[in-house]
Structure 1
Amino acid sequence: MDKWLIKRTSKDPGGGSPNNASQIKRIKHVVLDNSVASTMTTTVTSNISCENNAATSSTSSVITIDDSRATSSSTTITISHNSDDCSSIATSTLHIDTESDASTSIKQATATSETTGKRQRIFKESYIQFGFKCTVLNFEQRPQCVICSEVSANESMKPAKLKRHLETKHPQLKNKDESYFKRLATKLTTQQVDFQKYTTVNQKALQASFEVSFLIAKNKKPHNIGETLILPAAMKIVSIMQGEKYANVLKTIPLSSDTVHRRINLLADDIKIQLIDHVKESPYYAIQLDESTDVANVAQLLIFIRYRYENDICEDLLFCQGLKGRTTGEAIFNAVNTFFELHDIKWEYCVSVCTDGAAALTGSKTGFKAKVTEIAPHVGFVHCMIHREALAAKHLQPDVNKVLEQVVTIINFIKARALNSRLFKIMCREMGSEYENLLLHTEVRWLSRGKILRRVFDLKDEIRIFLLEREPKLAEYFLNENWLATVGYLSDIFEKLNDLNLSLQGKSTNVLILANKIKAFCKKISLWIDEISAENYEMFACLEKFSEENNIKLEEEIKTKIMMHLTNLKQDLEIRFPDTSYGDQWIINPFTCDLNTVKMNLKEKEQLIDLMSDESLRSIFKTTDLSKFWIMTEKNYPLLFKTSLLKLLPFASTYLCETAFSTLTAVKTKYRSRLNVEPDLRVPVSDNISPRINILTASVQSQGSH
């Protein structure tokens, strides 16, 4: 028999009533249930008293240890005592150490205590003759039938009642001897231990299933990759590194296509639930929305929302929904409004809506804007600033646009024909050219115009030689110096417009910052016009290179054409981007603003003066994100905080929708055209909110791999 050394420490965190101090708690029974193989009973004497020291008493407690197949050498049992004589709970801890040839493990430890006056029956080993073993529920000993596993109340722990259960429900076994019931008790206990082990393994497999499903969705992969690639690859790796035994454990991870699909749905739902809660906590919010058609010709409506959460301004995908029928402004509004009503999101807290300027979204009578204005007239509307810049860039005067069309014709003649493309590539390779291919121009890829024109300009000699053999009429353009100078200028100006467009893209942008970038570009245009008048082309690399290499002076006609285009471009940008941020520049930098130019009332100006004099905030401002900085001022400068939040929340572009559409095309392909896209889209585009996998694991029933 194992030798058990039992030590007991007790502490009472609270005091008791002086009148009832003599009432002493008694530990009735402690059961450490591992198996029924061997049993040892030890009696421990313990002292428990209340803090008022009104009385102290000793009581005897019986500890029954059922020990078999143990694997640990020590355990600690915490016992709580409730009594009328103490206003708090006293806690006793039993430290049990064992010295044994075999290591011991105690699977379950429970303690039952009661105050004087409340009787609680104690299980006796002789009850096994009636087919009952002891189990503990809610710190209370209860008899459990070893035949049907039924657990009875503590009050039923009487020989007569236990015998009646045996004779009534199991009459065919009433004549069995005690050894028979002991074998059943051992079997039942073993099953319980094995079930606990199985449950632990299954929970780990379930968690692994969620983690792998999350990675599959995050990387926009098909659901069946879990069972066709990831699991076999993992098993192969583990088999090589650790052995076949450990590799077989991975088979319990459920990663079938249907299982991964369900996991991703749960992950997306959890992200959505958290997002809705965050939005409801925010005092205001702004949205951006756009609509596009997927590979299955389904019109997908995407909405992103920007909101304040804790100490930052966050932006996430609110929802993605396929629209049936015509994508009218009313249909879009009904989809958005239904979602808002379903999740209790109020229009009154919406400060801005950003769209791409489509008629269905901006129509003043039947468009989405008109419908929103009817119920929330305070909502502001922003036309995507990236889209506005693109419209201005595409506007060319006729003579300049004609040159661009001629370049496109030449590119398509070479690039769009397979034979010409191969021959041109061979020729460029033989000539040792830096490039071997032209870039194909399409209207959709307007952002690449600068790169396309630059490639044509760099390969102008190779193109001329190739066209002399294939299409002499097109080769004549490359003999015209004015035409080549215009191509060089277009290459330069479109590269600068592309750089401007890229600077407008990105997450966490706002109207104030992007408006400043547009104003800066307009000032550069004015500078360029002055430099061209002085015959300085340094800002246009291709044009300057062409002029120097050929030792030519640009004709007045070309100079006038370039200056006219720049002037029209500046005017177009100023019309599309009116200066509405005047008076709000203090939000960008409150420490350098001019109080005479700010749009504020007296109290706001007073708070701004106080803030400008706050040296601690000045140092923080230099190293802190703009949104986080203004949220930090909420307590001390509430008026400035509210005004800045209303200006920083509105989206400046539909960039998030555009990038999400790119993700959508990767998720919903022609091979997965029937996919319900929202869950698989929400997971990869949600960067601010992570799914609570531990909660999901606990809430889902475990299943083996199939």
Structure 2
Amino acid sequence: MQFEKSHDEAVKKFKDIRTYFNKEVKKLGKKHKSGSRAFQDSNWFDFKSIIFLKGADEADSRLETETQSEKRPTLDRMFASTSQRNDDGLRASYNISLLIAKSGKLHTIGEKLSLPAVEEVLKTVLHKPASDIIKRIPLSNNTVETRIDEMSSDVESFLCNYLQTTHFSIQLDESTLPDNAALLLAYVRFIMNQEIYEELLFARTLITDTKGESIFHVLKDYFIEKAIALSNIISVATDGAPAMVGRYRGFISYLKQNVSGVLAIHCVIHRQHLVAKSLSVRLHESLHLVIDAVNRIRSNALNTRLFVQLCEENDEHFHQLLLHIEVRWLSKGLCLTRFFAPFKTILEFLDTKDKILKENLMKRKTDIAYLTDLFTKFNMVNLQLQGDNLNLIKTKSILSAFRARVKLMKQNIGRGEFSQFPNLSQASCQEDDVSTYVQHLNALYSDFESRFEDILTMVLPPWIINPYGDIEETNVIIQEELAELSKNEELKVQFENGYQQFWLQNNIPVTYPLFHARRMDFDSKAGPSKIVRYGDSDYEETLLKWAAEVDEENENGSGIDSDAEFIYSDNESVRNKNGQRLRNTFY
């Protein structure tokens, strides 16, 4: 009985040890998947023999000995561990530099904020000594600048190499910065790996004038430098400035002389902004009354503080008014919305500051309410036109829908129905006011149709959105491919994920080349992009921050290098170029 009991305990002990050993093997990963060397030399039969013949205590002792042997430091392991820690620090340095570049902050923020923040987290949260880890993460001003330049060069090289082999659309935007420098931003839109990408190609200053010829030569010189053929451009989008669209000396005319058949598109966001600027004399005066009132309050520090105090006393939701900036697309709508919400408080404040302005605002209250509602709708359309993966098909849908809404608004407001104008419905609207608004909406509708005639009248073949429709209505040239496609059941299942992803599949260009060529014209042609909106503002903001910081502390470095605006580099490949052991694919 005693022997059986001892035997059962030994077996149970063995099972516990084996379970523990198996768990440890899984933790050790690939290196120990088949067990340690000692356990490979022996076998489970020998191990069980120890349990039965010498007892479970000796088995425990042997297992502990083998575990300690595995953990015993060797020269190779010491060097490997040190190398791994250094490599991890380098990886962190690149990743943090990338975050600094994306944020547009000065390079010195790495040492000033990032490293102290990491040190605080290590000491406070993880309860680990931070000095040894921090010294392995180089983030000095010059180091961060070097990291950003390396990643920027890697990204630009990859992008330019890809553009050498594919067709793409380009969008140009020229702006004047606060220091009077003329900045030219170029964005490209292309298809890669079944996805549509929009990226900043370059940002360069115009040395002298901003004429169309100068803009073209900057673009041409860059393409020659990067070995990109101008003929790869299938469409170009610009604003309506004479330097861009001039018939004889505009940028478009110079480009068409070198690239025949290129499609020129007037940026739809810019056109929509021009439509929104079209106001009658009365509405224009009302808008300027709002701007004058905002400036009256915001231009004086004392007035600003008193107005904030009055808003708090009146329990207003907004305490600050927004300045109107003419070049900002959404500025009018945001300014009017913030102004009309505390309208009574503004009148109360102006009662002691400018009674004439107060009386004029009271007379034009309905105009201000109408403009607030209308520009809110304009902003909604503007934001839709800045959406991701926007193409001419989606653009036409957005513009057609807004045109229909304007027509409905004109009809409804003409018969006294103000449900589409929530602020105007709360104001007392007279017949003269209604007549003014109907006339404005009518002029707005006509101007909208005129400026967007090319897109609104664009005929979209039905097969673009639904290739499984009626074959007989399709162009004879592609009917054969359409007939074959309509019977492909595998592709039909994938079509349920969306028409755009359907046409971006890798096998479509090979199997249905005619279809694919015609379809890509609608996907890849340049449309408006939100990155254009952010490009100028980010560059300007970075410039102002850099100038202020240099004036204060005489520091070097700006937030984002001109060629690093769109950084999404694979840091592993960059480190590999500098002698590191890490390497991944760019995308």
Give the TM-score of the pair, scaled to structure 1.
0.65
The amino acid of 1:364's aligned partner reads R
Answer whether contact 2:111 2:139 (CA < 8 A) is retained.
yes
The amino acid of 1:582's aligned partner reads M
CA separation in 2, counterparts of 1:330 and 1:214? 36
Partner residue, 1:111: none
Whether 2:514 is the aligned partner of 1:652: answer no
RMSD over aligned CA atoms reads: 3.4
Whether 2:569 is the aligned partner of 1:691: answer yes
2:105 counterpart SS class: coil
Partner residue, 2:397: 516
Q: Deviations over 1:143-178 (max 9, x none)?
A: xxxxxxxxxxxxxxxxxxxxxxxxxxxxxxxxxxxx
- Change over 3 Å in CA distance of 1:197–1:360 after alignment to 2: same
The structure having more radius of gyration, on CA atoms, is 1
The amino acid of 1:489's aligned partner reads Y
CA separation in 1, counterparts of 2:132 and 2:172? 48
Whether 2:137 is the aligned partner of 1:253: answer yes
Whether 2:404 is the aligned partner of 1:528: answer no
Whether 2:443 is the aligned partner of 1:568: answer yes
1:612-631 correspondence runs (5 A): 616-624=490-498, 626-631=500-505
Whether 2:201 is the aligned partner of 1:318: answer yes
2:248 counterpart SS class: coil
Mean alpha-carbon deviation: is it higher for 625-634 or for 316-325? 625-634
CA separation in 2, counterparts of 1:454 and 1:327? 36
Whether 2:263 is the aligned partner of 1:263: answer no
Partner residue, 2:466: 590
CA separation in 1, counterparts of 2:183 and 2:557? 11
The amino acid of 1:344's aligned partner reads A
Whether 2:519 is the aligned partner of 1:635: answer no
Partner residue, 2:433: 558
The amino acid of 2:409's aligned partner reads W
Alpha-carbon deviation of 1:442? Answer: 3.6
Partner residue, 1:443: 326
Answer whether contact 2:107 2:558 (CA < 8 A) is retained.
no
Alpha-carbon deviation of 1:297? Answer: 4.0
CA separation in 2, counterparts of 1:305 and 1:615? 35
Alpha-carbon deviation of 1:631? Answer: 3.9
The amino acid of 1:333's aligned partner reads F
CA separation in 2, counterparts of 1:300 and 1:466? 42
The one of the two structures with greater contact order (alpha-carbon pairs below 8 A, sep at least 6) is 2
Higher helix share: 2
Partner residue, 2:190: 307
Partner residue, 1:124: none
Structure 2, gaps ≥5 residues long = 1-35, 41-64, 581-587
Mean alpha-carbon deviation: is it higher for 233-242 or for 485-494? 233-242
CA separation in 2, counterparts of 1:104 and 1:531? 82
Answer whether contact 1:512 1:585 (CA < 8 A) is retained.
no
2:369 counterpart SS class: helix
Partner residue, 2:478: 604
How many residue pairs align between the two structures? Answer: 512
1:685 counterpart SS class: coil
Higher strand share: 1
Answer whether contact 1:320 1:678 (CA < 8 A) is retained.
no
CA separation in 2, counterparts of 1:455 and 1:238? 44
Structure 1, gaps ≥5 residues long = 1-71, 77-97, 108-189, 548-553
Answer whether contact 2:106 2:559 (CA < 8 A) is retained.
no
- Change over 3 Å in CA distance of 1:423–1:585 after alignment to 2: farther
Alpha-carbon deviation of 1:354? Answer: 0.9
- Change over 3 Å in CA distance of 1:602–1:508 after alignment to 2: same
Q: Deviations over 1:230-255 (max 9, x none)?
A: 334434543553544x6324313332
Mean alpha-carbon deviation: is it higher for 565-574 or for 398-407? 398-407
2:202 counterpart SS class: strand
The amino acid of 2:401's aligned partner reads A
Partner residue, 1:398: 281
Partner residue, 1:225: 109
The amino acid of 2:526's aligned partner reads F
CA separation in 1, counterparts of 2:512 and 2:68? 71
Answer whether contact 1:305 1:316 (CA < 8 A) is retained.
yes
Q: Deviations over 1:150-208 (max 9, x none)?
A: xxxxxxxxxxxxxxxxxxxxxxxxxxxxxxxxxxxxxxxx8x99877765554443333
Q: Deviations over 1:562-594 (max 9, x none)?
A: 111001001111110014453225365225877
Alpha-carbon deviation of 1:325? Answer: 2.0
- Change over 3 Å in CA distance of 1:493–1:610 after alignment to 2: farther
Identity of aligned residues (%): 29
Answer whether contact 1:512 1:588 (CA < 8 A) is retained.
no
Mean alpha-carbon deviation: is it higher for 457-466 or for 511-520? 457-466
Give the TM-score of the pair, scaled to structure 2.
0.77
